[in-house]
Amino acid sequence: MRIRLGYDIQFEVPVPAPVVAMLNVHPSRAGDLLEPDLLRIEPEVKQEQYTDGFGNLCCRFTAPAGWIRLWNSTLIEDSGEVDPHDFAAREIPVADLPPEALVFLLNSRYCEVDLLSYTAAQLFGGMAPGWQRVQAICDWVHENVTFGYQFASATKTALDVYRERRGVCRDFQHLAITLCRSLNIPARYATGYLGDIRVPVTDAPMDFSAWFEAYLDGRWWAFDARNNEPRVGRVLMATGRDATDVAITTSFGDARLVHFEVTADEVTAPQASIGA
C-alpha cells in the first residue's frame, strides 16, 4: 500500500536562530520512497544535511527573523502488514550484545535506569526472559498510566511517569524503555509517522508518533506502550536514547510555534505532491 506523508510547521522567530531539523524518513526506509523526501523551507535558506551518531538524517540551517515555514509531502510504499513480531525472540546476554547496543542499556536524560532498577526487578524480574517480558512491560505501562494531552511536560522523566501514572505518548515509551534497560534489555526511543490506518479514526489532531524498539535475538523490534497493539503503516524517522535525541526541531534561540500539521494517510493510487 502507499502512504502520503507530510508536514507543515511554521514558526515566528524574533531574532535569527540556528535550527537542527530531523524531519526526513529514516535511511532504513529510503528505498521505499516513491517521491523525493525533501525539507522545504520558506523563505529559502541554505541547508546542510548530515547523519548524526545514531544514523538519523538531520538538516541544519539558520532561521531568519520573522516567519518561517518547514513543509514537505512525499509518498512511500509500505507492506501493509502489521508490525513484525516473533514471540520466541530471546534476550541476548549483555556480554554477547554488539557494542552499538550497549548505550541503550544506560541512563539517559529521561530514562533513570538506576532509580527504577529495583522496581523493574520486583515487577518483571521473575518472568521468563524474551519477547513475553517486553510485552508484559508494555501491558503494565499501558494499563497503569493514564493518557492525556493536559499531562504533557517537557521535563517529565520515566520516574515522574511511574510516580504520577499519567502522561503523553512519549512518557509511556520513556517508562517502558527504562524498565527494559533495568532488566538488561537494550531499548531505544523511536519517532515517526503513524496514521489512523485500519484503526478507528480519533478526534485528536494528527501528530508525529513515538514508540520504542527493543533488541531481541539480534535485531530491533517495534513496541508501543501507548497504543499497545500491532499497527499498520508505521514509518520510522529517527531513533535515539530518548526524546532528546530525536527532537523534530531544535532551535538555538527563540522560535515560537504558530502552525503544526502532519499527514499520514493511506492512498489507493499515485497522487501528485501537495503544492506550496
Q: What digits encode the pLDDT tens for the residues 227-248?
A: 999 999 999 999 999 999 999 9
Whole-number pLDDT of residue 177 = 98
Report the topology of domain 2-80+248-267: Immunoglobulin-like (2.60.40)
* Reported confidence tier of residue 210, pLDDT bands at 50, 70, 90: very high
CB 197 within 8 A of CB 81: no
Percent of the chain at pLDDT exceeding 70: 97
Could you tell me which residues are beta bridge partners of residue 129? none
Peptide bond into 18 cis (omega under 30): no
Residue 251: C-alpha distances to residues 38, 61, 78, 255 (Å): 19, 10, 32, 7
pLDDT in tens, 170-193: 999 999 999 999 999 999 999 999
Query: What is the maximum span of the chain, computed from C-alpha positions, in angstroms?
Result: 57
The amino acid occupying position 5 is L
104-132 mean pLDDT: 97
pLDDT tens, position by position, 125-145 = 999 999 999 999 999 999 999
Res 270: pLDDT: 54
What SS3 class is residue 265? strand
The mean of the pLDDT values for the chain is: 95
The DSSP code for 79 is -
Domain 94-245 sits in CATH at 3.10.620.30
pTM: 0.94
* CA–CA dist 164, 156 (Å, integer): 10
Calculate the CA 242 to chain-centre distance. Answer: 9
- Strands, sheet with 249-251, edge to edge from the N-terminal-most edge strand: 48-51, 57-63, 17-21, 249-251
CA dist 113 and 230 (Å) reads 26
User: Which residue shows C-alpha cell 526511543?
Assistant: 189
Is 271 a residue whose pLDDT tops 70?
A: no
Domains of the chain, by residue range, sit at: 2-80+248-267, 94-245
Where does the pLDDT of residue 202 fall: very low under 50, low under 70, confident under 90, or very high at 90 and above?
Answer: confident
Residues 6 or more apart whose CB falls under 8 angstroms from that of 149 comprise: 168, 204
Contact predicate 230/85, CB 8 Å: yes
| Cα–Cα dist 24/28, whole Å | 11
- Cell digits for 124? 518483571
Alpha carbon of 163 to those of 116, 143, 166, 202: distances in Å? 11, 14, 9, 28
- Closest among 167, 120, 121, 111 to 142, alpha carbons compared: 167
